[in-house]
C-alpha cells in the first residue's frame, strides 16, 4: 500500500508546517503587497506597495502601518508610515536601487501593546547577481588532492541492524565508516527497501545542528536506498543530552573552528566524510551506482552541492536554500550566506580567514558542478538570504532548475518538495 506523500514531507521538512502555521495564525497579519506579482523589478525601478492589516479576517481601517526598507541583511536606508483608509488599504513606494540584489521591506502594526510584523523581499534582476567571492587558482587541485588522500584510508564499514526500526518494507542499519584519516569516522543511518535488484540511492545531508538521526527514512518508501549522515564525526544514536552538551561545549560555533587555515578548518573533514559516504554507497550490491543523488537543505544544501562537485560518482543533486553561499558578502558591503561571517572587518586575522573561506564557499563548488540539479528557496529567507543563493545558482553551468516560493522563509512549500522528488525520479527513470 502506497504511503501518503505528506508523511514524507513532514519527516523531511518539519519546518514547513511549523513555519506556515506560525505565519497563518497571527492575531493580526500585516501585509506589504508589491505591484509586481513576481516580486521582481528592473534596476532603478520604483516598487509600489499596497499595505494592509487583517484582524479576524477583516481589514483594519485607520491603522498606522510603519515600514522600513533597505538592501537585504544590511542597515535600513529609509523608513516612514502610512495610515489605512476606509477601504483598509494604504500605499507607499520604495526605490529598487541600481544593482542586482534584494531589497527588504519590513512592515509593522501595533495593536493592544503588541507588534505584528512581516517581511517582503523584492528582487532586482536576481539572475544578474554576481558573487563577491573569488575562486583560488588551486581550488580544484586542493580538493582533488584532499579527496585522493582520503580515499587512501580504508573505510572499514560496520553495520548494525536496527530490528526495532526495520519493518516489512525496509531494513534500517546504523553505519560507521572511516573517512579522511585513520580513526576519523562518519556515522549515519542506512534505510534499504526490501527486495532484490539494484536501486537508486540518495545521500541525505543534514542541516546545521548537533543532533541524532534515526530510521527509517521515508524516502526509502519511494524506492531509494537512503544514507543519512552526520558531519561531526560522532555517533548519531546517542541521548539528546549528549548532543546538547556538545553543542554548548566542544562544538559550539563549530562553523568557525580552525577557520584561520584551510587545512584545519572544521568543514574539511565534514566535506570529505560526505564524499566517502558516496564511495560507501558504491560498494553496495543493492545500489545502482549510475543513479546516486545528494539531497539536503541549508547546511545540507551546501553539502549537497559540494559533494556533487567533488565526487564523480554523483549523478544528480537536490539543494534547498543552500548555506555558505558568498560568505564574504558582508565584507564587501552586502548580504552574505549563513553563517553570516565577516560582519566585523576588524575581527582578528580576517585576511587569513577570508583566504580560508574561499576554499569552502558554496559558490566556488557551484562553479565546478557537472551534474544536473534541482534547487528551491524563497525570497523571504532570513537565514540563507536569496542574494547569496542566487550568487551560487547564477554561476552554475550544469543543467539546473530552480523553483521559487517567493513568500517562503527558511522553509519550503509541500509542492516544492514534491516537485523535487518527481524531478529526481524522472532523472533516474523511476516514473
pLDDT in tens, 19-59: 333 345 689 999 999 999 999 999 999 999 999 999 999 99
Q: How far apart are CA 195 and CA 215, in angstroms?
A: 18
CA distance 312 to 369: 10
pLDDT confidence tier of residue 259, bands split at 50, 70 and 90: very high
Q: What is the 3-state secondary structure (H, E, C) of the chain?
A: CCCCHHHHHHHHCHHHHHHHHHHHCCCEEEEEEECCCCCEECCCCEEEEEEEEEECCEECCCCEEEEEEEECCCCCCEEEEEECCCCCCEEEEEECCCCCEEEEEEEEEEECCEEEEEEEEEEECHHHCCCCCCCCCCHHHHHHHHHHHHCCCCCCCEEEECCCCCCCCEEEEEEEEECCCCCCEEEEEEEEECCCCCEEEEEECCCCCCCCCCCCCHHHHHCCEEEEECCCCCCCCCCHHHHHHHHHCCCCCHHHCCCCCCCCCHHHHHHHHHHHHHHHHCCCCCEEEEEEEEEEECHHHHHHHHHHHHCCCCCEEEEECCCCCCHHHHHHCCCCCCCCCCCCCCCCCHHHHHHHHCCCCHHHHHCCCCCCEEEEECCCCCCCCHHHHHHHHCCCCCCEEEEECCCCCCCCCHHHHHHHHHHHHHHCCCC
The pTM of this model reads 0.94
Q: Which of 118, 308, 326, 410 is labelled catalytic? A: 410
pLDDT digits (tens, 9 = 90+) for 52-93: 999 999 999 999 999 999 999 999 999 999 999 999 999 999
- From the candidates 104, 118, 298, 315, which is the catalytic residue? 298
Q: Residue 14's pLDDT is what?
A: 36
Placement of cell 531494513 in the chain: 171
What residues does each domain of the chain span? 23-126, 139-427
Question: What does the mean pLDDT of the chain come to?
Answer: 94
112, containing H or E segment: none
What CATH number has the domain spanning 23-126? 2.60.40.1930
Q: What is the mean pLDDT of residues 284-310?
A: 98
β 287-297/400-404 pair status: unpaired
Average pLDDT over residues 248-267: 97
- pLDDT score of 26: 83
CATH entry, 139-427, from 3.30.300.20, 3.40.50.1820, 3.30.70.890, 3.40.50.300: 3.40.50.1820
Q: What are the cell numbers at 353?
A: 580567514
CA distance linking residue 316 with residue 278, whole number of Å: 12
**Cα distance between residue 379 and residue 28, in whole Å:** 22
DSSP state of 235: -
Given 171, 381, 388, 391, which residue is catalytic? 381
Taking the C-alpha atoms of residue 71 and residue 387, their distance in angstroms, rounded to an integer, is 10
Kindly report, residue by residue over 373-419, the tens digit of the pLDDT.
999 999 999 999 999 999 999 999 999 999 999 999 999 999 999 99
Is-catalytic flag, 166?
no
On the question of pLDDT at 11 being above 60, the answer is: no
pLDDT (0 to 100) of residue 431:
73
**Cβ-based neighbour number of residue 156 at 10 Å:** 10
91 noted as active-site residue: no
- Name the residue with higher pLDDT: 294 or 17: 294
pLDDT band at 17 (very low <50, low <70, confident <90, very high): very low
Q: Which of 242, 310, 240, 298 is nearest to 273 (CA)?
A: 310
Residue-level pLDDT at 20: 37
Q: Does residue 421 surpass a pLDDT of 90?
A: yes
| pLDDT score, position 12 | 40
- Beta-bridge mates of residue 176: 158, 187
Q: Return d(Cα 8, Cα 20) in angstroms, integer.
A: 17
Residue 249 has pLDDT above 90, yes or no: yes
pLDDT for 273 equals 97
Q: For residue 381, indicate whether it is catalytic.
A: yes
Region 274-300: mean pLDDT is 98
Tens digits of per-residue pLDDT, 94-135? 999 899 999 999 999 999 999 999 999 999 999 999 999 999
Model confidence at 364: pLDDT above 70: yes
Peptide bond preceding 308: is omega within 30 degrees of 0, i.e. cis? Answer: no
Give the residues across from 114 on adjacent strands: 111
pLDDT single digits (tens) 264-278: 999 999 999 999 999
β-strand pairing of 316-320 with 78-83: unpaired
Q: What is the band of 205 on the pLDDT scale with cuts at 50, 70, 90? A: very high
Amino acid at each position: 500500500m502506497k504511503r501518503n506523500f505528506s508523511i514524507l514531507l513532514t519527516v523531511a521538512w518539519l519546518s514547513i508546517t511549523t513555519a506556515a502555521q506560525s505565519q497563518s495564525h497571527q492575531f493580526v497579519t500585516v501585509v506589504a503587497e508589491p505591484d509586481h506579482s513576481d516580486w521582481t523589478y528592473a534596476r532603478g525601478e520604483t516598487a509600489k506597495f499596497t499595505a494592509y492589516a487583517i484582524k479576524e479576517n477583516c481589514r483594519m481601517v485607520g491603522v498606522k502601518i510603519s515600514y522600513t526598507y533597505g538592501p537585504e541583511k544590511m542597515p535600513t536606508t529609509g523608513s516612514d508610515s502610512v495610515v489605512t483608509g476606509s477601504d483598509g488599504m494604504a500605499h507607499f513606494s520604495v526605490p529598487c536601487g541600481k544593482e542586482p540584489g534584494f531589497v527588504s521591506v519590513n512592515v509593522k502594526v501595533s495593536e493592544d501593546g503588541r507588534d505584528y510584523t512581516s517581511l517582503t523581499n523584492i528582487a532586482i534582476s536576481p539572475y544578474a547577481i554576481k558573487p563577491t567571492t573569488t575562486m583560488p587558482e588551486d581550488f580544484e587541485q586542493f580538493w582533488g588532492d584532499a579527496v585522493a588522500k582520503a580515499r587512501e584510508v580504508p573505510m572499514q564499514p560496520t553495520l548494525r541492524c536496527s530490528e526495532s526500526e526495520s519493518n516489512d518494507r525496509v531494513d534500517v542499519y546504523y553505519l560507521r565508516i572511516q573517512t579522511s584519516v585513520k580513526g576519523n569516522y562518519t556515522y549515519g543511518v542506512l534505510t534499504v527497501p526490501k527486495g532484490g535488484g539494484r536501486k537508486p540511492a540518495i545521500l541525505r545531508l543534514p542541516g546545521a545542528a548537533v543532533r541524532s538521526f534515526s530510521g527509517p527514512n521515508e524516502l526509502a518508501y519511494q524506492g531509494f536506498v537512503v544514507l543519512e549522515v552526520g558531519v561531526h564525526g560522532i555517533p548519531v544514536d546517542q541521548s539528546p543530552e549528549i548532543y546538547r552538551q556538545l553543542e554548548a561545549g566542544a562544538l559550539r560555533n563549530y562553523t568557525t573552528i580552525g577557520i584561520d587555515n584551510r587545512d584545519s578548518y572544521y568543514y574539511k573533514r565534514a566535506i570529505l566524510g560526505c564524499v566517502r559516504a558516496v564511495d560507501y554507497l558504491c560498494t553496495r550490491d543493492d545500489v545502482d551506482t549510475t543513479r546516486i543523488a545528494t539531497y539536503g537543505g541549508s547546511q545540507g544544501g551546501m553539502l549537497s552541492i559540494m559533494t556533487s562537485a567533488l565526487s564523480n560518482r554523483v549523478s544528480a543533486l537536490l539543494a534547498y536554500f543552500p548555506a555558505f553561499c558568498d560568505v564574504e558578502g558582508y565584507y564587501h558591503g552586502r548580504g552574505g550566506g549563513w553563517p553570516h561571517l565577516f560582519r566585523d572587518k576588524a575581527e582578528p586575522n580576517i585576511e587569513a580567514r577570508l583566504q580560508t573561506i574561499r576554499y569552502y564557499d558554496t559558490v566556488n563548488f557551484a562553479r565546478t558542478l557537472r551534474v544536473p540539479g534541482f534547487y528551491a528557496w524563497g525570497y523571504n529567507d532570513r537565514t540563507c538570504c536569496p542574494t547569496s543563493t542566487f550568487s551560487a545558482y547564477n554561476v552554475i553551468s550544469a543543467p539546473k532548475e530552480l523553483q521559487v516560493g517567493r513568500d517562503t522563509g527558511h522553509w519550503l512549500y509541500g509542492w516544492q518538495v514534491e516537485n523535487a522528488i518527481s524531478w529526481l525520479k524522472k532523472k533516474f527513470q523511476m516514473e
